[in-house]
């Protein structure tokens, strides 16, 4: 199954009051494995950047001034998203900005039926715990030491790892199939193959010598429970 984990950076909290998306980062998963295919873009919001927002993501109006408008890359973005489920942290926020930008350039919004919210998953799995991306990275041992400021692609990459753990984890080393499984992904014109090599089960039965030593050992036990 193909899924897209994504994150956005914006000029503020509410697209209905004039705030705009300035960055989007998307990471492709196939069968819960990262394929290496990503989509990342900055956008010129055609407005100022409030100091509070710049303090979060570090994107200034000057930096964004020569970036393309959202509409110029909308077709590329939608081709990458395809019809896959879209995973985000506090997904209603990111969907709100994505659909506001699509509407502004005359495109159909993304259906909310495709929305997967990792905050909702985490709240159900860890009631009462902290649910921020940083907190979940700490809980699941996801390295975020290189996260100085928010960045859409970096946060999507971190969230992809957290999402896999929230939904069962990869259980590395527990697969017992002998063959390698290939995961194929098509994103735009690129095809990526990720080889997952599974380990064969190790023999674990006791040898006759080990069984003999075990019997000798338990005979030394006074009044064992299983003898009553």
Q: Establish if 83 belongs to a structural domain.
A: yes
Instruction: Tokens 């649910």: give the residue.
Output: 131
Q: Establish if 205 belongs to a structural domain.
A: no
Q: Establish if 185 belongs to a structural domain.
A: no
Q: Which residues contact 19 (CB under 8 A, 6 or more apart)?
A: 10, 11, 12, 13, 97
This prediction has a pTM of 0.75
Strands 2-10 and 21-30: antiparallel
Q: Establish if 147 belongs to a structural domain.
A: yes
What total number of domains does the chain contain? 1
Q: Establish if 125 belongs to a structural domain.
A: yes
Q: Establish if 133 belongs to a structural domain.
A: yes
| Active-site residue, selected from the candidate residues 57, 89, 150, 214 | 150
Q: How much is the pLDDT for 88?
A: 98
Print pLDDT tens along the chain (228 aa).
999 999 999 999 999 999 999 999 999 999 999 999 999 999 999 999 999 999 999 999 999 999 999 999 999 999 999 999 999 999 999 999 999 999 999 999 999 999 999 999 999 999 999 999 999 999 999 998 877 678 899 999 999 999 999 998 765 434 443 334 444 454 444 444 445 555 666 666 778 888 888 888 878 888 777 766
Phi and psi, residue 87, nearest 5°? -105, 130
To 5 degrees, how large is the angle CA 217–CA 220–CA 223? 125
The span from the CA of 101 to the CA of 20, in Å, is: 8
Q: How much is the pLDDT for 220?
A: 83
126 is catalytic: no
| Residue span of the structural domain in which 140 resides | 2-172
Q: How much is the pLDDT for 32?
A: 94
Q: Establish if 32 belongs to a structural domain.
A: yes
The token pair that represents 7 in the structure block: 């994150």
The span from the CA of 156 to the CA of 98, in Å, is: 15
CATH number, domain with residue 27: 3.30.420.10
Q: Which residues contact 92 (CB under 8 A, 6 or more apart)?
A: 115, 117
Chain Cα centroid distance, residue 111: 20
Q: Which residues contact 135 (CB under 8 A, 6 or more apart)?
A: 129
Q: How much is the pLDDT for 97?
A: 98
The token pair that represents 207 in the structure block: 């040898």
Q: Establish if 26 belongs to a structural domain.
A: yes
DSSP letter (8 states) at residue 184: E
């Amino acid at each position: 199954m193909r899924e897209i984990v994504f994150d956005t950076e914006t000029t503020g909290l509410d697209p209905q009051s004039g705030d705009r998306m300035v960055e989007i980062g998307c990471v492709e998963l196939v069968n819960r494995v990262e394929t290496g295919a990503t989509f990342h873009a900055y956008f010129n919001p055609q407005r100022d950047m409030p100091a509070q927002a710049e303090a979060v993501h570090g994107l200034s109006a000057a930096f964004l001034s020569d970036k393309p408008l959202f509409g110029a890359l909308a077709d590329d973005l939608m081709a990458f998203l395809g019809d896959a489920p879209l995973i985000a942290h506090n997904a209603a926020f990111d969907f709100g900005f994505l659909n506001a930008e699509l509407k502004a350039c005359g495109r159909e919004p993304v259906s909310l039926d495709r929305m997967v919210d990792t905050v909702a998953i985490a709240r159900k799995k860890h009631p009462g715990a902290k649910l921020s991306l940083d907190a979940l990275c700490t809980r699941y041992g996801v390295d975020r030491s290189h996260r100085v400021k928010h960045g859409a692609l970096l946060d999507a990459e971190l969230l992809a790892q957290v999402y896999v753990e929230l939904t069962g984890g990869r259980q590395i080393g527990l697969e017992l199939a002998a063959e390698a499984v290939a995961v194929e992904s098509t994103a735009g014109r690129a095809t990526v193959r990720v080889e997952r090599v599974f380990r064969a089960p190790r023999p674990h039965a006791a040898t006759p010598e080990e069984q003999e030593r075990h019997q000798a050992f338990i005979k030394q036990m006074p009044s064992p429970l299983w003898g009553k």
